[in-house]
Amino acid sequence: MTQQHDSPSGRVESATLKRTALFQAHVSLGARLVPFAGWEMPLNYPGGIISEVKAVRSRAGMFDVSHMARLRFSGPGAVSFLDTVLSANVASMRIGRSKYHVICDEDGGIIDDALVYRIADEECLLIVNAGNADEVMDWINPRLEAHGNVQMFNYTDQVGMIAVQGPEAAAILDKISETLVSAIRAFQIGEVSIAGAYMRAARTGYTGEDGFEVMPPREAMQKIWAAFRDAGIEPCGLGARDVLRLEAGLMLHGTDISRDNNPYEAGLERFVHITSPGYVAHDALARLRAQGTHRIMVGFKMVGRGIPRNGQAISKSGETVGIVTSGTHSPTLDDNIGMGYVDRGLSDEGTRFEIDVRGRLVEAEVVPLPFYSRKRS
């Protein structure tokens, strides 16, 4: 664990934590800064997490997500190489498209969940979680050596990333951009000019809302952030992002999924393509799919009073039958919700079981995921 100490201002400081290009902007806005995956990141701003969640659901909010790793693969054979280490079937993707998938090891365990973008015939961008960046690169590098013409470049420090999310995100960005950002469709990536800076923008996100993830050069990050603020987009932190992704039924690696889980028990089988030539996890995933799973990820809402939290036991008739992986109070739904693994026989909608909330058994009921879906025009 990183050694930390509190400054006189009450802000956590550490010489070993990385900082994004927007660090000073977060400080000036009064953000509560916390260590996260080796970075010093804003948990929330003075208005609070609930205000930030409501801003994203009703209008637009923005998140500094520059801590996520941006890895570029290029060179002859880049696509065929990626199809040996990713479950995305990159060869089937058109240029300018992206795909969510899971990165599995040879045993079928989930190293990370990620987005891959096909930028050109033999050029791709892979976005991985900050906490798994080194592990993903360490896992890919030895395999990369066998493909001498393929290069991997980590340009996380050269290019930042801001997620603008919410029902008015597209309209607001169009007003302050020199290009029509809204022309980029869902899960597409393109080049745009915003506030005089050129960058890539993808219509992706992690909140369940429409929105974009823009990738300005590091030197333009402060200017772009300021332009977004001037346009009325509310700064949001990691706390709101976690609530929003759980409301949308999206998983967090290290909490809901890990190398101890496979994509079938996590309910992620639709994001797994295992038939690409040379795919390293083919045999393990084919075996796991054929065997079936004895436990499965479910969503649930609390029937009794109590907020579920990671690590709490799930029981039925006095026997432990699962574990909570994520839980919170949903400001959008005004309900207490959670996700967790349970025995497959208890996964049907309407099934009830108990959650051990601080020593109290509180009843919960299985409900469909996602908990929240945005209205589509």
Q: What is the 3-state secondary structure (H, E, C) of 328-350?
A: EEECCCCEEEEEEEEEHHHCCCC
pLDDT of 9 over the 70 cut: no
Amino acid identity of residue 360, one-letter, is R
For residue 42, give every residue at least 6 positions away whose Cβ sits within 8 Å of its Cβ, in sequence order, or none: 26, 29, 31, 32, 33, 34, 64, 235, 237, 238
For residue 69, give every residue at least 6 positions away whose Cβ sits within 8 Å of its Cβ, in sequence order, or none: 127, 128, 129, 130, 133, 136, 137, 154, 156
- Coil, strand or helix: which one is 280? coil
Q: Contact at 8 Å (CB) between 125 and 117?
A: yes
pLDDT digits (tens, 9 = 90+) for 114-142: 999 999 999 999 999 999 999 999 999 99
pLDDT of 1 over the 60 cut: no
pLDDT digits (tens, 9 = 90+) for 299-315: 999 999 999 999 999 99
What's the pLDDT score for residue 208?
98
Task: Confirm whether pTM is higher than 0.85.
Answer: yes
Q: What is the mean pLDDT of the chain?
A: 95
pLDDT of 14 over the 90 cut: no
pLDDT band for position 376 (cuts 50, 70, 90): confident
What's the pLDDT score for residue 220?
98
Q: Contact at 8 Å (CB) between 349 and 366?
A: yes
| Ramachandran assignment for 189, one of left (phi > 0), alpha (psi -120 to 50 degrees), beta (any other) | beta
pLDDT band for position 146 (cuts 50, 70, 90): confident
pLDDT of 45 over the 90 cut: yes
Would you list the DSSP string of 67-95?
TSEEEEEESTTHHHHHHHH-SS-GGGPPT
What's the pLDDT score for residue 12?
43
pLDDT of 108 over the 50 cut: yes
Task: Tell me what the mean pLDDT of segment 269-274 comes to.
Answer: 95
Question: What residue ranges define each of the domains in the chain, with the CATH number in brackets?
Answer: 16-68+158-247 (3.30.1360.120), 69-154 (3.30.70.1400), 295-367 (2.40.30.110)
What's the pLDDT score for residue 126?
98
Count other Cβ atoms within 10 Å, centred on residue 45.
20
What's the pLDDT score for residue 375?
83
